[in-house]
Amino acid sequence: MQESKLLTYIKILLNLIFIILLGFFTFFVLPKILRFFTPFVIGWIVAMIANPLVRFLENKVKILRKHSSAIIIVVVIAAIVAAIYAVISFIVRETTQLMKELPMILEQTEKQMNEFSQKIQEMSGVLPQNLQNIVDNMILSIGNSINKFITELDPSVGTAGAFAQGVAEGFLLIIVTVLSAYFFIVDRDKILGGLKKSLPESVINGFSVIYDNFKTAFGGYFKAQFKIMLVMIAIMFVGFEILNIGFSFLIALGIAFLDFLPVLGTGAILWPWALFDMIMGNYFRAIGLVVIYLICQVVKQILQPKMVGDSIGISPLATLVFMYIGYRFGGVLGIIIGIPIGMVIVNLYRLGMFDRIIRGFRIIIHDINEFRKF
């Protein structure tokens, strides 16, 4: 009996060590490996996108896989490059114009913050003196922060040297990415067959479950959110143009990026902006911003159930926790990927992947409680 209990503790300890090592590898080692092999990772993603078309040409059109792979990869990469070039060129034009007008924007911002401070002081005149001082200090702090942020945007900082230095490396990465995508498609069956022969069946089954969950979480979630983000950009861009707001595309892009995060959303910017305009007496633009927000919310509520589902599979509190953990580990990028990683963890828990660990903790806690009795 004693030997059986000792063996149980050893198994529990081994499972716990395995989970710890797996978590350490996933969150600390694997990102560095993926970053080092970035061209191959991108090549694998391109191969996944192109593989269905390659199979179609191979089965229906009777084109050899090696020839169809080259054709599809060229088409996919050309489409991606064209889309990226179009978006970046538009953003660069607006950013360049923004940098030219930056001194004037800074001057206008200072004037608006002074006027806003005076408005707040007039409105807070009925408050006690202590509260008035708190409000004044708060407005002054916000104004100084905004002015400092804009002032530190130095348009004269040149990145041409660094860009030119990285051109050769960029071409090399592109070549490696294209070739790796081609070979991943051509030798896909051989690669998968070799892995199945080399790895134990239990490892393959576990990897398949994890891979399917990652594919569903990352692929489905980001694809749906990206579509919704494009719709939000279009709505806000048109609305800002109607309201005659400068740099409408850049502002719409930035707010849509915040809307990509489940907790923040468009209201984190549009509501304070509308309140600011309302206090400043710009009632038309304030009402317009509220209308844009309402339209975005209605459209999002219509699209999100169809694209993402009624929920992303985890509670709002769990969503906030995973976002915070992602931020602590990876900053803004960690916030973005924290949600789908949380979805994967929750789904794996529901599938029973952590049952052994949980059962082991229950056994240990039970035995400790029994030992404490006298």
Q: How confident is the model at residue 163 (pLDDT cuts 50, 70, 90)?
A: very low
What number is the average pLDDT over the span 113-130?
A: 62
Round to whole Å and give the CA distance between 3 and 15.
18
In 3D space, the residue among 226, 235, 233, 224 whose CA is nearest the CA of residue 305 turns out to be 224
Q: Helix H segments across the chain?
A: 2-24, 30-36, 38-56, 65-100, 102-123, 129-151, 160-165, 167-186, 188-198, 201-214, 221-242, 248-259, 267-280, 283-307, 316-350, 355-372
Round to whole Å and give the CA distance between 79 and 91.
18
- Give me the residue label for tokens 């998968």: 192
For the stretch 41-57, pLDDT in tens is 888 887 777 777 777 76
Round to whole Å and give the CA distance between 312 and 260.
13
Mean pLDDT of the chain: 75
For residue 126, give both structure tokens.
């009925």
Residue 291 scores a pLDDT above 90: yes
Residue 103 scores a pLDDT above 50: yes
Residue 242 is predicted with a pLDDT of 92
Residue 126 is predicted with a pLDDT of 54
For the stretch 132-161, pLDDT in tens is 566 566 656 655 655 555 555 444 444 444
Residue 255 scores a pLDDT above 80: yes
For the stretch 354-371, pLDDT in tens is 888 888 888 888 888 888
Residue 141 is predicted with a pLDDT of 64
In 3D space, the residue among 297, 253, 309 whose CA is nearest the CA of residue 94 turns out to be 253
